[in-house]
A and B are shown apart, each in its own frame.
Chain A
Amino acid sequence: MSQGNAKNHNGPSGGLGAGPGAAANGERGYLAGGLTGLGLLAFAFLPLLLNAFAQNSAPYWLDVINTVGLYTILALSLNVILGFAGMFHMGHAAFFAIGAYSTAILNLDYGWSIMATMPVAAVAAGVVALVLAWPIIHLRGDYLLIVTIGIVEIVRIALTNNVFGLTGGSNGLVGIARPSVFGFRIVQPQHFFYFIWAVVALTLLLFHWLENSRFGRALKFIKEDTIAAENMGVNTSRYKLMAFVVGAAWAGLAGTIFACRMRTISPESFVFSESVLLFTIVILGGKGNQKGVLLGSFLVMGLPEFFRGFEDKRLLVFGAALVVMMIFRPQGLLPSKPSRYKLPEGWDDRLPGPGSPGPPTPGQKP
């Protein structure tokens, strides 16, 4: 081992490793953790709180929160493609639609229970994504964007034209059943509240694990520099394709929830503007950062509900806010943070210098 090299970085680079403030960070961490816990607890009782304090409008607000939840699931699935892997995909509504229609068709025509259709919806969306993305996955940024826009249109037109006589044309499909989970039938908004937000929590957890794994790192390398990733041994086209399929499959699963919540679906629900909305949520919240995506869903899907009175000016304000955001904070409200790693036993003692090195220097990219 070349011990001679180990001494070098006490010189010009010394300042990079050491930094104060670790203790203060810890206290802030506890405080933030406590507040988050309280917030989560309050959120868990939201249906009760709404019923107690806003009886008349409770179902309405629960519906709003449920919509936010559904879009959070969708946006988190898009985040795998757009945020983790950095692929500009603006056709996500297509996979959402395939999931919703799979559920509706299996339920209405074949009498499957809703929960049984869920995995099929996910697989159907994933398979379609695989087939459609195969030839286009190598396309870069703007080109990919345009082709994915084409995908939503193709799917929407296919649905409207009643492909295979299964999709009900522009009227869509009516009378989809309600789901039942472990024998409990999910009917009312407060039922859907727990159902949807449980799926949100599950999604957050699974994709957090995914992000901090060999798979997620490969996507991160691809996003940072595809050529370097390929040259370090990452099968870049395979990983891009897999990210696409995973994101699409999860959108398909969200489609199941949508179908059984609405009970009626039609091509109108899956138009291009839905894709744009999802894209906006991820970019606004901070692509790659799941908390950012959650925040983005609340802002994009929830906040406008407070300004119902303004109706026509609502979109104007929303558009203006987006423009301002993109000028002053193009990385999104909560930009993605470097992953944390815990060193295996023994490394802390082996490292040069007293204690462990300070916080990382944030990577500034212009």
Chain B
Amino acid sequence: MQILSLSSVTKTFGGLVAVAGVSCGVDRGAVVGLIGPNGAGKTTVFNLITGSIKPDDGHIFFSGHSIKGLRPHRIVALGIARTFQTIRLFQGLSALENVLSGCHCRMRSGLIASLLRLPGQRREERLVIDRAMGELEFVGLAGLWRATAGSLPYGDQRRLEIARALATEPKLLILDEPAGGMNEQETLELRELIGSIRKRGITVLLIEHDMGFVMSVCDRVLVMENGILIAQGTPQEIQTNPKVIEAYLGLDDDD
């Protein structure tokens, strides 16, 4: 059963075709990797799924709903949460408040309840702080709840971004280069963390350049090049796919 499916999704920027008729799907409960050389269009695909940009053509379905053209906050409410390739935390706010931003869409208190601090609003605040702390603990940052996001080391910021996304109670979590800038130890811990996220029943779609990481974490891998989906399959299939080796692995000297 697919939780997410794209059919012939296309996006051009001026003359540049960033995503050219991509059709693919993500199975519920799976961890799926999206790989490809720099500029292949991976982040653009993520932006299309999360509603940050609108496709020129094609369809995007999530849990049976068409989500094409919806604004990002609506898509979050439906159950897709993301992290950013270049970290996009609320730098000046505390770790706790950053996670509370994710809780926002699952809360109900409105203007009047907030202005008058009604009992229901206070109860909700207590519950939500508890839940946000739970997410911080889940990624191993509970002790740093008061620290300003911008003051955290890079690896912690990446994990805080994941906690913030998890706080939206997603069904699908989209991670754009989660291991980017992490050291070996942190990458190892990230792998464990993704395992725990999957155990919560959350589907994960991630972009990553670290091939070892992708091949060990993902059930399936999608490969893009120049806006085109050139291959998809299990990590074994991808590693031996001649097209992929030619187009991607051959060029990449990180690996």
Contacts and interface: CB of A to CB of B under 8 A. Distances in A.
B73 A5 contact: no
A343 B114 CA distance: 19
A242 interface: yes
B175 to A, nearest CB: 13
A2 interface: yes
A20 B77 CA distance: 41
A20 to B, nearest CB: 15
A8 B192 CA distance: 13
Contact of B91 (A7, A8, A343, A363): A363
Interface in A209-265: 209-210, 213-218, 220-221, 224-225, 227-236, 242, 246
Given A16-B144, A231-B50, A361-B148, A217 B100 contact: yes
A12 B153 contact: yes
Contact of B73 (A6, A9, A236): A236
B182 to A, nearest CB: 11
Given A225-B90, A360-B147, A2 B189 contact: yes
Given A9-B140, A351-B142, A214 B148 contact: no
Given A13-B144, A233-B73, A343-B133, A209 B114 contact: yes
Given A16-B151, A357-B143, A360-B147, A233 B77 contact: yes
A352 interface: yes
A206 B115 contact: yes
Contacts of A228: 84, 88-90, 101
A45 interface: no
Interface stretch (B5-13, B37-45, B122-130): B122-130
Contacts, number: 201
A49 B134 CA distance: 54
Contacts of B155: 8
Interface stretch (B25-33, B105-113, B238-246): B105-113
B66 to A, nearest CB: 19
B72 to A, nearest CB: 5
B70 to A, nearest CB: 12
A338 B94 contact: yes
Contacts of A338: 92-94, 97, 148
Contacts of B77: 233
Contacts of B189: 2, 4-5, 8
A147 to B, nearest CB: 22
Contacts of A229: 101
A1 interface: yes
B16 interface: no
A364 B152 contact: no
A359 interface: yes
Q: Summarize B's interface: helix, strand, loop or mixed.
A: helix
A352 B133 CA distance: 13
B196 interface: yes
Nearest to A218: B104
A296 to B, nearest CB: 21
A7 B124 CA distance: 30
B164 A232 contact: yes
A9 B143 contact: yes
Interface in A48-80: none
Most buried by B among A232, A242, A365: A232
B76 A351 contact: no
Given A16-B152, A17-B143, A227-B52, A217 B109 contact: no
Nearest to B95: A360
Contact of B147 (A6, A16, A206): A16
A357 B148 CA distance: 13
A233 B102 contact: yes
B130 A344 contact: yes
Interface in A317-356: 338-339, 341-344, 347, 350-353
A362 interface: yes
Contacts of A210: 111, 114-115
Contacts of A8: 140, 155-156, 185-186, 189
Most buried by B among A4, A6, A213, A351: A213
Contacts of B125: 213-214
Most buried by A among B52, B77, B107, B195: B107
A242 to B, nearest CB: 6
A4 B140 CA distance: 8
A215 B114 contact: yes
A242 B129 CA distance: 24
Contacts of A357: 143-147
B116 interface: yes
A325 B61 CA distance: 53
17 contacts: A2-B140, A4-B192, A17-B147, A213-B113, A217-B97, A217-B104, A221-B104, A230-B71, A231-B73, A233-B101, A236-B73, A342-B129, A343-B133, A359-B146, A360-B148, A363-B150, A365-B150
Going nearest first, the 9 A-B pairs with the smallest beta carbon separation are A5-B140, A233-B105, A213-B114, A363-B92, A233-B76, A363-B148, A215-B114, A224-B90, A360-B146
